[in-house]
C-alpha cells in the first residue's frame, strides 16, 4: 500500500514541481498502465521521455527520434487502455518491442550543448528526461528521482552555456552526479 501511495503522490505532485523543490521519486517498474493513463499531460510527457531513454538503453539504441517517440507513446497508451493492471514497462515491451527501428535518427552522442540549448523548451525537456532515463538504465536504476534530475539539469545547463561545442553526453558525464 505504501508503494501505491508513493506512486500516486508522484502522479499528483508532479504538476506542481516546477515551482517547488520536491524530493519526488518513483520506481518506474511498479507504475501500472492505469496510473500512467491517469497522469496529467505535462508529467505524462516527461515520464514518457524518461521511459523512452530508459528503454533505449535497455534495447541498445543511442538515438533520439521525436516522431518515433510520439508514435511509441500512442502505441503504449493504446496497449495500456486494454491492459490497465499491467506495468507500463510491459506496455513498452509488448507494444513497441526491441526491434522497432526509426526512419530518421539523431544520435544523442552527437548532440552538442549549443544545439541542445537552441531547442525549444519542450524538446529540451524531452532530451533532458530521455538522457536521464538512459543513464539511469545504464546504472541499473529504475527510479526516477526528480530532485536529482533537476540538480543535474541545472549543472549541465551551466556547463553547456560555457561549452557550447562540447557534446551533451560529455556535459552530463562532467557535471551530473
Is residue 101 situated within a structural domain? yes
pLDDT at residue 94 in the model: 75
The tens digit of pLDDT for each residue in 35-82 reads 999 988 888 888 888 888 888 887 777 777 777 778 888 888 998 999
Is residue 166 situated within a structural domain? yes
Domain tally, the chain: 1
Is residue 42 situated within a structural domain? yes
pLDDT at residue 167 in the model: 93
pLDDT at residue 30 in the model: 84
- Mean pLDDT of the residues in the chain: 78
CB atoms closer than 10 angstroms to residue 143: 12
| Residue carrying the nine cell digits 552526479 | 177
Is residue 122 situated within a structural domain? yes
More confident residue, 24 or 111: 111
Residues of the domain holding 111: 32-175
**What is this structure's pTM?**
0.74
Is residue 120 situated within a structural domain? yes
Is residue 161 situated within a structural domain? yes
Question: Per residue in 107-135, is it b (16+ CB within 10 Å) or e — as a string?
Answer: ebeebbbebbeeeeeeeebbbbbbbbbbb
The tens digit of pLDDT for each residue in 74-120 reads 888 998 999 999 988 888 777 665 444 555 567 788 889 999 999 99
Helices (H), 26-86: 33-38, 41-58, 66-82
Amino acid at each position: 500500500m505504501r508503494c501505491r501511495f508513493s506512486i500516486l503522490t508522484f502522479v499528483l505532485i508532479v504538476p506542481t514541481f516546477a515551482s517547488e523543490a520536491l524530493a519526488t521519486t518513483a520506481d518506474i517498474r511498479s507504475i501500472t498502465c492505469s496510473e500512467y493513463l491517469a497522469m496529467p499531460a505535462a508529467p505524462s510527457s516527461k515520464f514518457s521521455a524518461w521511459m523512452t531513454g530508459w528503454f533505449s538503453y535497455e534495447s541498445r539504441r543511442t538515438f533520439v527520434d521525436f516522431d518515433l517517440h510520439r508514435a511509441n507513446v500512442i502505441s503504449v497508451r493504446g496497449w495500456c487502455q486494454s491492459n490497465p493492471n499491467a506495468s507500463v514497462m510491459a506496455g513498452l515491451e509488448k507494444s513497441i518491442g526491441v526491434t522497432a527501428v526509426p526512419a530518421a535518427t539523431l544520435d544523442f552522442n552527437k548532440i552538442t550543448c549549443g544545439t541542445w540549448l537552441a531547442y525549444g523548451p519542450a524538446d529540451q525537456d524531452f532530451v533532458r528526461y530521455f538522457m536521464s532515463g538512459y543513464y539511469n538504465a545504464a546504472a541499473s536504476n529504475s527510479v526516477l528521482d526528480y530532485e536529482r534530475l533537476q540538480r543535474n539539469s541545472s549543472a549541465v545547463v551551466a556547463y553547456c552555456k560555457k561549452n557550447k561545442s562540447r557534446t551533451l553526453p560529455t556535459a552530463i558525464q562532467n557535471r551530473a552526479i
